[in-house]
Amino acid sequence: MSNLVPGDSFVARLTVQNSGDLNLIYAMTTTTSGDATLASTLQLTIRTKTANPCSSQDGTVVYGPGSLSAAAIGNATHGVQTGDRTLAAGASEDLCFTVSLPSGTSTTVQATSVGATFTFQAEQS
């Protein structure tokens, strides 16, 4: 996404797939690079996708809304942790990521940029 102005948002779908023969649990962490103020200002909401498009924003919230820089699902520590997602063998689930720049955002983040890497950790359950 580029050229966001306060009040704008961006929606993207991500498919998490378990191509194995056993159930798994997974967690997600986020690492950002670039402008730290923008990374903490941008708001991320992650929802499960329904039959509707992600832009409907009607799925169950699994993160947020919260800071992009602190975004996480579950806990990457070994074993089942609060918030971890379960995925059956051979199944997949679609997640909808919505990133928004709040309408009251200061001009101090103008002309800055940020990158985000979402890392998924999975283990058999």
pLDDT tens by residue, the chain, 125 residues: 788 899 999 999 999 999 999 999 999 999 999 999 999 999 999 999 999 999 999 999 999 999 999 999 999 888 888 899 999 999 999 999 999 999 999 888 989 999 999 999 999 98
66 lies in some domain: yes
- Rounded distance between C-alpha atoms, residue 63 and residue 60, angstroms: 9
Q: Please check whether residue 89 lies inside any domain of the structure.
A: yes
Residue 2 forms part of a structural domain:
no
Domain assignment of residue 4, yes or no: no
Residue 21 lies in a domain: yes
Q: Could you tell me if 2 and 98 are in contact, meaning their C-beta atoms sit under 8 angstroms apart?
A: no
